[in-house]
Each structure stands twice: as C-alpha cells, then as structure tokens.
Amino acid sequence: MTTEAIARILALQRTDGDWGVGVYDSEGWSSTTDALWLLHELDADPADAGVCRAIDLVHERVRWEERNGGRPFFEGETEACVNGRVLTLGARFGHPSPALVQRLLSEQLPDGGWNCEAPSSTRSSFHPTVCVLEGLLAFEQATGPDAALADARHRGEQYLLDRGLLRSKTTGALLDEQWLTPHVPAYWCYDVLRGLDHLRAADLQPDERVAEAVDALRAARSNDGTWPAATHPGDPVVELEQPGAASPLTTARAERVLEWADSGA
C-alpha cells in the first residue's frame, strides 16, 4: 500500500513542481505542501530516484506567494505551523534551512511554544508548537547537535508536558475532544498520538505527565488490537486510508508509542 501510494502521489506532480491548487491550501489538503507531507508520513526514501526528481522540481521551481515572501519553498513563509512542517520536509528530503530555523527560534514565545498569530498573541497553541518541534528535531537529526536549538526544543516539549499533552494549564480543561482520536495524515493538526510520538522520537523519558495521554491512546484502540483510520475533512491529494477501517499507519505509530511509554513505566 505504501509503495503504491507514493507512486500515485509522484505521478500527480506537474512540471512546474506543484501539486493540486499550488504551494499551499488553506481550505483543505490538496497542495504541494500537503503532497510532500504525505510522502513524509509514508516514509518515502529520499534516495529513491522518483522522490529525488520530485524534490528537485520543488526546490528549483516552487515559490511561496508574494504575500508570503515569495521565497523558495524550503525557505518557508510566515506562519509557524506551516514553517515547522516545511522545516521537517526540508530536513527530511535534503534541503535543511538554517535561515528557517533561526526565524522559528526568534518566534518562540515566553511560555515555550509557538503561535501562528504571534506577535499579536503571546499565548502558544498546540498545533504550531508540535509542528515546530518536529521540524527542529528533524533539522537536528539531519545536520547534527546544536545547543541553542536543543534548548528551544526542550522548552517547547515542556510546554506540551506541563499541559498533560491535552489540557489548558490555566483551567485544566480538555482543549479539544478531537485530539483524543489519532489522525493520519496529521497535516498541521495536533492530536494525542502526534504529541506522544514526538516525545518518543526526541528520546524523552516518559513520566506521569504523559499518563492521561497514553490512556487516551489505548482507549482509541479497537477490539481487534488495531487503531481505526481517521482523516481530517477536506480534499486530499491522495486518500491514504479508508476512514473507519483498520489503519496500518496509525497502528504502527501507536504501538511504538506504547512500547516507549511502557519502557518508562
């Protein structure tokens, strides 16, 4: 399934380097950014000839709209949730951007996270925070350790942990019921599996602050031991899984998260 889905995505790329509606789709999931994110979530091999051709086309031809700076794709645009994903994609597919890292580090808020509405908002949000954290970790993995970057990432991870990965720090209320359902693809959206899987990938030691999130992930499992496919509403470049059916992608990620959580119990 994975190999077939990757081939379908690659076949849909145009000669201008774009997919679907162009560089970014604010109304759904049918853009170049989303197509590349699908390749990332499917763990496409950066060394594969077809993947290399697709990435080269994006690198050479795709630019952000003038209102978002008109920069080359892997240099990013203006919003943290978008730029975190672009940083992940660049690091994953051979175009890590130090300039984009510095932009994101300069936008970190005092509470440790990020917000796409900064500087007008000084309170962070889970969605951009997890996107940026993934990007910073991918950049570190691609280019090597960096003390300032690691410190920023640590503060962002504490932002998630101090809120139990699910709740308001001020009121203790669950911030969004949808976060209890793991989604693949995630795109820019936060959920419990995405938050936990980042902490696992960052090699953090699980503690009591992840307990509720781990319990929520276990509760989402079906009786047959798998997790059902759940997608975000919209028109994707390619539909990876049938909603409601057993999800191999979600199941594999959830199982590795539970193994990590149990190892620290």
- 109-127 pLDDT tens trace: 999 999 998 777 789 999 9
Average pLDDT on 211-218 reads: 98
Q: Which two tokens stand for residue 72?
A: 């080359």
pLDDT category at 187 given cuts 50, 70, 90 is very high
262 Cβ neighbours under 8 A, 6+ residues apart: none
Average pLDDT on 167-180 reads: 97
Q: Find how far residue 170's CA is from the centre of its chain.
A: 26
Domain chopping of the chain, boundaries: 1-62, 76-162, 170-265
pLDDT category at 264 given cuts 50, 70, 90 is confident
Residue 155 to residue 62: CA distance in whole angstroms: 33
Question: Is the pLDDT reported for residue 265 higher than 80?
Answer: no
Asked if 64 and 70 count as a contact pair (C-beta separation under 8 A), the reply is yes
pTM value is 0.96
Q: How many CB atoms lie within 10 A of CB 265?
A: 7
Average pLDDT on 168-196 reads: 97
Question: Is the pLDDT reported for residue 1 higher than 70?
Answer: no
Helix axes 32-41, 49-61, angle to 10 degrees: 150
